[in-house]
Amino acid sequence: METATAAPQRGPSVPRSVDLVVIGGGSAGIVAAKTAAGFGTKVVLVERDRTGGDCLWTGCVPSKALLAAASVAAAMRRGQAFGIDASNVTVDFSRVMSHVQGAIETIAPVDSPDTLRTANVDVVSGTARFTGPRSLALGTHTITFGQAVIATGAAPAVPKLPGLDQVDYLTSETVWGLTELPPRLTVLGGGSVGCELAQAFARLGSAVTIVEAAESLLPSEDRDAAALVTQSLIDDGVDVLTRTTAESVTGQALVLADGRRLEFDSLLIAVGRKPRTTSIGLEVAGVTVDPRGFVTVDDHLRTTNPRIWAAGDLTGHPQFTHTAGMHGSIAATNAILGLRRTVDRTGTPRVTFTDPEIAVAGIDTEAARRIPGLRVHTLGHEHVDRAVAERETTGFTRLVVDGKHRIVGATVVGPRAGETIGEMVLAVKQGLRTRDLAGTTHPYPTYNDAPWNASIADVRSQLARPIVSGTITTLARVRRMWQRRLTN
C-alpha cells in the first residue's frame, strides 16, 4: 500500500541490486516477498506507509471488529425473543473504537517489518518509482532488480460530486479515525462495504441513510439474498434509498437528483475502489494499464514487461485479501522459479459480512439462471435445525448443479455463511458431485446442514427419475424374492 511520501530508511542498508523487489507491503506483497525469500532469493520489500496493507489497518480487521461490537448490541436488543430482558443498551463509542484498535494491534505483529526480516525479507520504507525496465529509485538511491512484483493495491474511489471537496467526508480508510458516534450518517454506495458499515453504525446508534443508484443494494448478489440483507438493514433502522442518484453536496447535506436533501453529520463514501497505479513510473518501466488504471497482466500475472509481475487489487481481478495472497504466491513463484503457474478463479469465494451474511463460491445463482444446463437447488433455513434453535431462519442455501450433478456454484445466506462456504469452495474446485457431499457425514446440528441437505435433496431427485426408480424397485423385488427362497 503506497500512500505517503517518505525518505527511504535503511534496513540495515538499501541494496544496489536484488533478485526481487516487491513494491507494496499489503497481503499480496507480503506473501510474494516471503515466498521468494523462502527460495533463498535476495528480496527487498518497499512500503512507504506501514506493512499489513488495507486489510489489516482499514479493511477486513477493523470492519469485522466493529461488526462484532454492533452484533452484540443487536443481540442484546433482541433478547426478549429468548426470554431475556436486556433492552436498555448503552453504547460507549470510544470503547468500541478501542476494541477495534485492539484487534488491529493484536494482529499487526504478524505483518510487521521485524517479522518479515526474520523471514529474510529486507524491508525498506520509502517511495518507489520505476526509472527503467530493470531499475527503480528510492529517494536518492537506485535499485536494479532481476524481477519485480507490483502490489500497491487499491484505494477508495471518490465520485466527482460538486461540493464534495468542501466537506470532511469519510471513506473506508478514514472512518476509523472517528472518536464520536455520528448522530446522522449518510452512506453513499450500497455495495458490501457500504452495507456492512451502514448496519454496524445503525446498530451502534447512528441514524443511517444509505443511497444506492442501482435498483437494489448489493446489485452483484443473488436478488433474494440482497432482499434479505435490505430488510435486515431496514429492521435495524437504516433508511434505504435505491434507484437514487446523488447530484451534489451543499453544506452538511447530500442533494439528490430529485431535489431531496439528506442532512448529515458525517458522509461516508463507499462507491468502489480504484487501483493505486499512478505516480510509480509504470510507463517508464514498460508496464501498461487498462483505461480504468488496472495493470494489464496475463494468466500468469506477468505484465507487459516480462521482468515485472503484478499481484492483488491493482490487477482488476476480484479485490479480496484471499485473492491477493494467492496472487502473491503465484507471482513470486513464477518470477523466481520460472514456472508458469496460472490464476485459477474456479470457486473463488466472496463474503458480505452483514447480518445475515452472504457467501458465494463459483457460479452465482443469478449467472446460473442464464446458463443452459445448470439447475439451482434451494433449501430454506427454516429446515435447518440449528437455525430454528437460534431463531435465525431468514436465510437459504442454493447449490448450482450441472448436468452431471457436479456442484459448480453455491450461495449461502445466514449466520456464519462465510464459514459454511469453505466446504462449497472445495466442492466446486474439486468438481464434487452432490452425491459426494450427501455421502459425507456432517456434524449435527450446524449451519452446514443446509448445503448437505440440499445435496441430499438433489440425490433423491435423481433416484426419483423413472429409469432409476424403476431399476431400484426391480432390485428390491429381486432381493426380497431371493431372501424368501433362502428362508424356504
CB 451 within 8 A of CB 399: yes
191 labeled part of a ligand binding site: yes
**Would you say 196 is a known binding-site residue?**
yes
Residue showing cell 426478549: 80
Residue 361 contacts by C-beta under 8 Å, 6 or more apart in sequence?
A: 347, 348, 349, 409, 410, 421, 424, 425, 427, 428
Residues in the chain: 488
Count CA atoms closer than 13 A to 269's CA, side-chain side.
Answer: 22
What's the sign of the alpha-carbon dihedral 430, 432, 436, 440?
positive
Non-local (6+) Cβ contacts of 440 within 8 A are: 452
The answer to whether the Cα torsion of 458, 463, 464, 467 is positive or negative is positive
79 is in an annotated binding site: no
H or E element that contains 311:
none
Cβ-in-10-Å burial (0-12, 13-18, 19+) of 187 comes to buried
- CATH for 17-51+112-156+274-337 is 3.50.50.60
Please give the helix or strand (H or E) that residue 26 lies within, else none: none
Closest CA to 25 of 170, 138, 127: 127
Q: Is pTM, for the whole model, over 0.85?
A: yes
Instruction: Identify whether the C-beta of residue 161 lies closer than 8 Å to the C-beta of residue 246.
Output: yes
- Say if residue 487 is exposed, middle or buried (CB neighbours under 10 Å; 0-12, 13-18, 19+): exposed
Question: Rounded to an integer, what distance in angstroms lies between the CA atom of residue 218 and that of residue 214?
Answer: 9
Dist CA 265 CA 253 (whole Å): 9
pLDDT (tens place) for every residue of the chain, 488 residues total: 333 333 444 444 788 999 999 999 999 999 999 999 999 999 999 999 999 999 999 999 999 999 999 999 999 988 888 888 877 889 999 999 999 999 999 999 999 999 999 999 999 999 999 999 999 999 889 999 999 999 999 999 999 999 999 999 999 999 999 999 999 999 999 999 999 999 999 999 999 999 999 999 999 999 999 999 999 999 999 999 999 999 999 999 999 999 999 999 999 999 999 999 999 999 999 999 999 999 999 999 999 999 999 999 999 999 999 999 999 999 999 999 999 999 999 999 999 999 999 999 999 998 998 999 999 999 999 999 999 999 999 999 999 999 999 999 999 999 999 999 999 999 999 999 999 999 999 999 999 999 999 999 999 887 766 665 666 666 667 667 777 777 76
Q: Is 222 flagged in the annotation as binding?
A: no
- In a 3-state reduction of DSSP, which class is residue 291? coil
Half-sphere exposure of 379 (CA within 13 A, CB side): 23
Cβ–Cβ < 8 Å for 144, 285: no
Looking up cell 456434524, which residue turns up? 443
State the cell numbers at 179.
472518536
Q: What is the pLDDT of residue 465?
A: 66
Q: Residue 271 has which C-alpha cell?
A: 462507491
- B/e letters for 155-173, b = 16+ CB within 10 Å, e = fewer, are bbeeeebeebeebebbbbe
CA nearest to 209, candidates 176, 251, 246: 246
CATH code, residues 350-463: 3.30.390.30
For the chain, counts of helices (H) and of strands (E): 15, 21
pLDDT score, position 193: 98
Residue 383 sits at the vertex; the CA angle it makes with 378 and 386, to the nearest 5 degrees, is 120
What is the rounded (10 degree) CA torsion for 125, 126, 127, 132? -90
Domain 164-272 has CATH 3.40.50.720: no
DSSP annotation of 365 reads H
Fold match, 164-272 / 350-463? no
Residue pair 277/295 in contact (Cβ under 8 Å)? The answer is yes
The DSSP output letter for 265 is S
Q: Is 189 annotated as a binding residue?
A: yes
Q: In DSSP terms, which residues pair with 387 in a beta bridge?
A: none
Give the pLDDT confidence score for residue 6 in this predicted structure.
39
272 is in an annotated binding site: yes
Residue-range domain boundaries for the chain: 17-51+112-156+274-337, 164-272, 350-463
Task: Determine if residue 173 is labeled as part of a ligand binding site.
Answer: no
328 is in an annotated binding site: no
313 is in an annotated binding site: yes
**CA-based nearest residue to 194, from 240, 245, 152:** 240
What HEC string does 368-437 produce? HCCCCCCEEEEEEHHHCHHHHHCCCCCCEEEEEECCCCEEEEEEEEECCHHHHHHHHHHHHHHCCEHHHH
Say if residues 386 and 445 touch (Cβ distance below 8 Å): yes
The answer to whether the beta carbons of residues 275 and 294 sit under 8 Å apart is yes
CB 455 within 8 A of CB 440: no
Q: Distance (Å, rounded) from C-alpha 292 to C-alpha 308? A: 20
CA distance 114 to 276: 25
- Amino acid occupying residue 247: E
DSSP 289: B
> What is the model's pLDDT at position 464?
67
Distance separating alpha carbons of residues 97 and 109, to the nearest angstrom: 19
Would the CA dihedral through 446, 448, 453, 459 be positive or negative?
negative
